[in-house]
Structure 1
Amino acid sequence: MELRDIEIFLTLAEELHFGRTAERLHLSQARVSQSIRQQERRLGGALFDRSTRTVALTRLGQRLRDDLEPGFGLIRAAVDRAAVAARGCCGTVRLGAMGALPSELTWLVDAYRARYPECGVEFVEFHFSDPFVKLRTGEVDMQLMWLPVPEHRFRVGPVVLTEGRVLAVAEDSPLATRSSVSLEDLAGRTVLDPGEHVPVEWFRAMCPDRTPGGRPIHRGPRARTFHEVLALVAAGRIVCPLNGHVPRYYSYPGVTLLPIDDAPPTEWALALPASVPAPHVQAFVDTARDLGPRRIDDHTTPAATHRLR
């Protein structure tokens, strides 16, 4: 089966209309019909049930579609990358990131631009309170997200950053005199409620419902932005686990940041739509994979306790 015939079959399997398939592939309708008939003769069975009004996949057609789609997508992506290599890659990657994290990616952006001089990176900020909206709507090409990324509509690329975690508490909290804390210290305390737009599994990776020993952690008031979180902490209404880079970039009156000794490391990975990315976007992913992850400068040792005033 030739690649063009595979493309015709898969397009017809999606459109279920000979005219639209021909228009989409810039072919005549007769050419589409001829290709499908040849494939059916070669396979010895019908791929589509046809009537004067409808076109539907047969069971054989459904199986062939399911078997061909993944491999054909890989072939098209490989051809696209080869074409990019032949003519040079160009375009701007729109990369979603929270807060100050773009500052931790200069090494990756510089390497990408060195490899692909006609390419660039534009950072777009998003908030944790609706973390996937820009990715779903196509406002960004990819996002830097802590793992796990739960939504089935996205795929997870390489991990690019790792770091420890800190706990934000009010400066008059009994915890504030400590040099560090553990996740068990969250027992009986209140953390924020992120709201209905935040996937539960994703948020639990940062703010669990229970301590490792099984004691409950309460959910409290909602916050939409990082500075709203800090305001609630300063007021003594919540405590909040945060990522280890926070002390380097942020200050807020009345908030103390304490290293969490037993918190799992945060892994920041590139999250992309499930569709095949544009060549310049794939080139950024490939660059990140080739270089491997970097650890953000460690601000989470006991000596790094910060009081934000």
Structure 2
Amino acid sequence: MGTVEIRELECFLVLADELHFGRTGERLYVSQGRVSQLIRALEQRIGARLVERTSRRVRLTPLGETFLSDLRPAYDTLRAAVDQARAAALGGRGPLRIGFQGVAGHEFMDVVREFEERCPGCDTRMTELPLSDPFGPVHRDEVDIAVVLLPVQEPDLVLGPVFSRQPQYLAVSRRHPFAGRTALDAEELADAPLIGLGAPAPDYWRDVQAPTRTPSGAPVPRGPVVGTLQEGLSLVAADRGVMLLCLPTTQYHHRRDVAYVPVAGLPESALGLVWHGARENARVRAFAEAVADDLVRFGL
């Protein structure tokens, strides 16, 4: 085992199930090329071919079949040992209050479910955070850990894994001239009032979510200020302003009266996991580790 990477073994096990490099990549949230790279590395470490691949099919070699039958029970035992140790480190049952902004997507919920399986004594509780108050619930000890939009410049909070980097979209009313467009340039934000987010979110954070100037420095007209996502979408539908949103949020909030148009020239949005440094505990650390291990596979 000295030089064998656990990621290579995991990749081989999934490929043995799927017998398809593309589907294996989808399950592992990596590219098909990365799957090939991991399999080649494992074969080089072992010194023989484990997989035969043609233009029509993928199958295990006889050695690959033997390796699979030996590896699977050993891997399951290793995984169980890690899970039991993690559960013991958590010290039995206890809650983990997880806050999230906007949408807790299915990828994130997959991580929550996997964490619950690894740590059956930990009771997770999901809480939606106000869009205009990303850090307050963490500061006030209303949640133990939170998924928030970047940036984070709070001296008392710890920023953990950063993930889900996504392009930005502009939400506009179906009656708005932009609604028929297939794409926009960031400079065109100067042509429509941009809905902003209110207090208590800090100014530096609000300025990123609703910039006051285009990349070239042109002023962006100020639209209404809202506290929640639904307030913002309602004002967009009423053609009171436009609103910047990340791609996953647009996918989860389909409305017949709102159109979503990609905006070129803006930095990608990103999510980060944060918690209060003075209240960090074993459950928080275990969940942050789960996010780092699993979400990074598709947030990247």
Query: Cα deviations across residues 234-284 of structure 1 (Å, max 9, x unaligned)?
Result: 222211111111232213342111112333222111111121512112111
Distance of aligned partners of 1:292 and 1:250 in 2 relative to their CA distance in 1, 3 Å threshold: closer
* Kept after mapping to 1: 8 A contact 2:196/2:210: no
Of 208, 211, 229 in structure 2, the residue corresponding to residue 208 of structure 1 is 211
Distance in 2, matches of 1:181 and 1:140, equals 37
**Residue in 2 that maps onto 1:278:** 281
2:184 match: secondary structure: coil
**Residue in 1 that maps onto 2:249:** 246
2:278 match: secondary structure: coil
Using the TM superposition, give the Cα deviation of residue 216 of structure 1 relative to its aligned residue in structure 2, in angstroms: 0.6
Letter in 1 for 2:148: M
The yes-or-no answer on 1:108 pairing with 2:111 is yes
1:205 match: secondary structure: helix
* Kept after mapping to 2: 8 A contact 1:90/1:119: yes
**Residue in 2 that maps onto 1:306:** none
The yes-or-no answer on 1:141 pairing with 2:150 is no
1:275 match: secondary structure: helix
Distance in 1, matches of 2:291 and 2:150, equals 16
**Residues 290-301 of structure 1: matches in 2 within 5 Å?**
290-295=293-298
Distance in 2, matches of 1:242 and 1:231, equals 14
Distance in 1, matches of 2:153 and 2:295, equals 22
Mark the runs of 5 or more structure 1 residues left unpaired by the alignment.
1-81, 297-309
Letter in 2 for 1:258: V
Distance in 1, matches of 2:234 and 2:295, equals 36
Matched residue count: 215
* Kept after mapping to 1: 8 A contact 2:195/2:223: yes
Mark the runs of 5 or more structure 2 residues left unpaired by the alignment.
1-84
Query: Cα deviations across residues 53-91 of structure 1 (Å, max 9, x unaligned)?
Result: xxxxxxxxxxxxxxxxxxxxxxxxxxxxx9974675542
The yes-or-no answer on 1:185 pairing with 2:195 is no
**Residue in 2 that maps onto 1:222:** 225
* Kept after mapping to 2: 8 A contact 1:150/1:199: no
1:214 match: secondary structure: coil
Percent identity over paired residues: 32
Query: Cα deviations across residues 115-143 of structure 1 (Å, max 9, x unaligned)?
Result: 22222321101111222221111110011
CA RMSD of aligned residues (A): 2.3
The yes-or-no answer on 1:121 pairing with 2:124 is yes
Distance of aligned partners of 1:193 and 1:110 in 2 relative to their CA distance in 1, 3 Å threshold: closer
Of 221, 231, 234 in structure 1, the residue corresponding to residue 234 of structure 2 is 231
Distance of aligned partners of 1:204 and 1:86 in 2 relative to their CA distance in 1, 3 Å threshold: closer
The yes-or-no answer on 1:255 pairing with 2:255 is no
1:123 match: secondary structure: strand
Distance in 2, matches of 1:287 and 1:90, equals 18
Structure number with bigger Rg: 1
Distance in 2, matches of 1:107 and 1:160, equals 14
Using the TM superposition, give the Cα deviation of residue 102 of structure 1 relative to its aligned residue in structure 2, in angstroms: 4.8
Q: What TM-score does the superposition give when structure 2 sets the normalisation length?
A: 0.65
The yes-or-no answer on 1:158 pairing with 2:161 is yes
Distance in 2, matches of 1:287 and 1:245, equals 21
Distance in 2, matches of 1:239 and 1:95, equals 30
Distance of aligned partners of 1:229 and 1:83 in 2 relative to their CA distance in 1, 3 Å threshold: closer
Using the TM superposition, give the Cα deviation of residue 103 of structure 1 relative to its aligned residue in structure 2, in angstroms: 3.4
Letter in 2 for 1:114: E
